[in-house]
Amino acid sequence: MFAIFKREVQSFFTSPIGYLIVGLFLLLNGLFLWVFRGDFNIFDYGFADLSNLFLLAPWIFVFLVPAISMKSFSEERKLGTLELLLIKPISIWKLILGKFWGVFLLCIIALLPTIVYVFAISELGIITGNYDFGVVLGSYFGLFFLVAAYASIGLYTSSLSDNQIVSFILGILICFLVFNGFDAFSSLFSSGETQQFIQSFGAKYHFDSIARGIVDTRDLMYFISLALLFLYLTFLRLKHSSN
């Protein structure tokens, strides 16, 4: 598994794609948070906190994670190397997990420079350092779990086709539906209880809960279950391909 993981990480950074994706993530966040006027701009917001980052980042990752993962199995299938990997003395699960951790690591690398924003916000407050770091840690924690779910979805869509663009579009669609689809669907109902019940199936509901600084095992289990579900679907797809 480690050999697959190492190969996956090296493939990102031996080509401009890895640097481009990380740079694009940081550029978009930086522009929306600090430069462009609007709802996400921290100066226009008027409060010294990073809540806008955690409103924006999940939407950027909807596009970013499928862009990272789209070649994981699509490229292998197109080049004919997937069959070679499947007949090697390595289990399908180790192959999937190696690629999963490679995609996940690149997303975490993209997130790490945003820690600078935490110190910048701390200095912008009326009282320097008067800042709720617990909420920030909870929000980053929630992002890690959300990214893990997105990565598993991206791997699954990558296993469906040898066309990277198709995998990319399918990945965006499923990530969007998982994150915001249930929230949007719940708006069709007038009952508050019904709305909350439907929203609880969506990733946004559980991410928002963790982002408030409340680490509930139900939210963690939701993301873990979601990631395992799509990893298992990927396993079934590859197992079918190997037969």
Q: What is the pLDDT of residue 160?
A: 92
Total of domains in the chain: 1
pLDDT band at 114 (very low <50, low <70, confident <90, very high): confident
155 pLDDT exceeds 60?
A: yes
142 pLDDT exceeds 80?
A: yes
- DSSP class of residue 70 equals T
Tokens coding 205: 């509901």
- Mean pLDDT over residues 125-149, rounded? 77
- Mean pLDDT over residues 17-35, rounded? 84
173 pLDDT exceeds 90?
A: yes
125 pLDDT exceeds 70?
A: no
d(CA 80, CA 66): 21
d(CA 238, CA 160): 9
Residue 8 lies in domain:
1-241
Q: What is the pLDDT of residue 72?
A: 86
The closest of 170, 173, 189 to 181, measured between CA atoms, is 173
37 pLDDT exceeds 90?
A: no
Quick one: the chain helix, strand, coil %, rounded to 5? 80, 0, 20
Q: What is the pLDDT of residue 4?
A: 79
94 pLDDT exceeds 70?
A: yes
Regarding predicted confidence, which is higher, 157 or 53? 157
